[in-house]
Amino acid sequence: MAETNEFEAWVVSSFNLTLLSLVLLLAGHTAGFLAGSLSGFGTLPGVLAFGYLWLLVFGATRWALQGGGLARIRDGERRSLLLRGIVAGGAIGAVFLLGLLLVILVVNVLEGGVQPLSFALFALFGGSIASIVGGLVGGLSVVLDIVLYEAAGRLLGAREEAERTENETPN
């Protein structure tokens, strides 16, 4: 497979994660969920969790874009891109949740209040659900990426056509 364009992967992953974060924050704010749930979270854990999620999204996006990046859309490879997006999203959901659970487990071990069976069950069921939700989000992100890529191509094509027509007409 061809190498992934690092800049393209960075732009696509940053756009997708930023959009997802804004949608979730807006939904959480309008539902009144954020005030109670984030009051004791803290800035450093929030930045670390977001950084961890961004690294997962970047790595999964690099993998999903292998073989030609978004330009594969022009070649009619929407389906393979969509499938890779679903798989990447599922992996992000499961690995993100498992990483958070691992941190919680370590904190509980250090405090002496560990219940490994509870963590194992939550990891099993929670990881499965997070994988399904992540796959859906990944698929929706790819659909949005395809729509935006095609819209940008049309706009650029129209602009190039207008410039070509302008240059061909005599003054």
What is the C-alpha separation between 136 and 53, in angstroms, rounded?
16
At residue 66, φ and ψ (nearest 5 deg) are: -60, 145
- Please name the residue that has the structure tokens 């798989």: 87
Contacting residues for 66 by C-beta, under 8 A, at least 6 apart:
1, 2, 3, 4, 84
Give per-residue pLDDT as tens, 137-171.
999 999 999 999 999 888 887 777 777 777 776 65
Q: Tell how many helices (H) and how many strands (E) occur in the chain.
A: 5, 0
Q: Which two tokens stand for residue 155?
A: 């706009």
**Distance separating alpha carbons of residues 16 and 145, to the nearest angstrom:** 8
Distance in angstroms (rounded) separating the CA atoms of residues 120 and 101: 9
Q: Count CA atoms closer than 13 A to 96's CA, side-chain side.
A: 26
**Own/partner long-range contacts of 151-155 (Cβ < 8 Å, ≥24 apart):** 153/74
Predicted TM-score of the model (pTM): 0.81
CA atoms 28, 29, 34, 36: torsion sign: negative
Tokens of 30: 């309008």
- Residue-wise pLDDT for 43-85, tens only, equals 888 889 899 999 999 999 999 998 888 888 888 889 999 999 9
DSSP 75: T
Residue 62 is predicted with a pLDDT of: 93
What pLDDT sits at residue 40?
Answer: 73
